[in-house]
Structure 1
Amino acid sequence: MISAPDLLRALRPLHVWVGPTGHVRQVGKSFAKLGIDDPTGQRFLEVFEVQRPKKPSKMADLRGLAGQVLRLRVRAEPGLGLRGLLIEDQTDGVILDLSFGMAVVDAVQRYGLTAQDFAPSDLVMELLFLQEAKSSAMAASFSLNSRLNGARLAAETEALTDGLTGLHNRRGLDGALERLGQSDTEYAILQMDLDRFKQVNDTLGHGVGDAVLKRVAGVLRAHTRQDDLLVRAGGDEFVIVCPGLTDTARLNALAGGLIRDISEPLMIEGQDVAIGASIGIAVSQTAARRDPKTTVTFADIALYAAKRSGRGQHLFWSPDMGNSLVELDLPVPTSRGA
């Protein structure tokens, strides 16, 4: 009769089995391809950081998340994000069945994964086939009028992705706005610039600046929903498109959390780095369901109003701000992030 550990290895190549003391008892065979040292025997929470739905600090907290889907990352590989269903193993331990979620196609290319690295019943098998065949079905297309799913987001091509942060780029934003304008979905758009980023880039170098941008991308991912579109529009400019979210209280909480976490001091390459963020928000209801590109303009106006009011804060667009930066009595900027 096959043992439970061998059964797990055979069926779930990306599982993690954690014992009652919080130490990793076993990992799936595909972990070796991810460039991660074998974590067997190490404390799970020292190897992995659970980002959602909440951050456990001990094994009891982790067991309390049983039955939920977690979003987590490997501490030694911050760019490696994972999703996993947590279940109890009936011996006060837990088993986490992992996947790459929306980033599966990037993971396949980055780590050289094959069909043997996934469970035979996994939907990713179909995605791998499409990727190998270079099917036209892999064209960038998704609908912001319904809940986005992992298979459709995995079909996004590199042409829509910012190479540094892994977020969407301006081209990806333009396509999403076009599709959004053809739907009946209400939405909010957040325009965000980093405060004092130019000084960091100029004084500490582009290497530190790139590290800051990657960290900001991580903060955005940690605070947003699966169906929000995250965009690095260029330089230190970011855009968040939130389909179905127009509640002022929730948007206040989102913007406030982003500004708080981005403003936390950090150490990069031995250098103390301190930046901030300013955010402008426009919602489609406020914008009278105008063309989404107009809503982006309104969010931009609110952003500059926030900067002029002292930075490190967020403002909603309101009609008294006008329909252009000229009406706001601001010169059209040539650069941001100062």
Structure 2
Amino acid sequence: MSRVSHEAFLAVLDRICPMHAVLAPTGHIVQAGPTLAKVIMPRAVTGTRFLDLFELVRPARVHDMTGLLALDGARLRLRLRAGPRHAFKGVLAPLDMAGERGALVNLSFGISVIEAVRDFGLTGADFAATDLATEMLYMLEAKSAAMEESRKLNLRLEGARIAAQEQAFTDTLTGLKNRRALDHILDRMVQGGEDFALMHLDLDYFKRVNDTHGHAAGDHVLQVVARRMLSLIRPSDVIARVGGDEFILLFVGSNARDWLADVAHRLIRRLEEPVEHDGRICRISASIGATLRSLYDHADIARMLADSDQALYAAKEAGRGCYVIHPPGPETRTTLRDVG
């Protein structure tokens, strides 16, 4: 078999050992594989002393070519003296170079290949086809793709969960909270010991709208009512539709009767404004019963709801279009006002 030419030998090394270095008897690099050259950039590779580029971590205390040649076949641990301090694995074999001893060093990244790929901008083409690093890169790519798909799936599931939860707590016609949501909010407020006002609002003459103009008109009126009430409350307050034309409003942090009376007055005035639907005018009003958490020794939601409901019926009996704040007591004449 004919001898392999020097150029052919180096070409083979570039292909099967792209992280090799051929060392002259002086310890200087005379040939470097393409991947090793890419790792060392922007510093020159050829012509540079190998131990000036790499620090031999184990075995330690090697400072010259004689020491390197003594490591024939040993497992080497190295790292770059400049740039990213990645760990390298290596093995050295002596080479006969015109009667003198040079060396061939083959390097790899080992377990640190993932960080090296990131820091040096490497791809699968920078490794030999038989290098297990390519398998690690494929696994990493597959893992990244799987994790990205998993992330997208989790986002979709979380979005669906939030949407389902929101739907479960929302009145579909008006977009307000429903009774289920109200119960959760009340429980949370009681556990937190917060002050709040509770208002029970019922629409007056709403049945007349349905009977005269039809249910489509009634649905439109309810949607307008919801928007008008939302325009008068604070972002922290809550409105829930708990019946066909019944609503409960929660005013967080409120404990003043005068303030609550003012809100009730403004709500009634706003809801008395005519609502147009298909060229026809729909007229309603509202009756309100309310109470304050501060009136009770301890938060009893069932009792507060019952008291506000009783106050609502008192407002209805007083002629509608008015409000009563529980307990009526001696101040009935100031809290029960005809605003219609």
**TM-score (normalised: structure 1):** 0.50
The structure where helix makes up a greater share of residues is 2
Larger radius of gyration: 2
**TM-score (normalised: structure 2):** 0.49
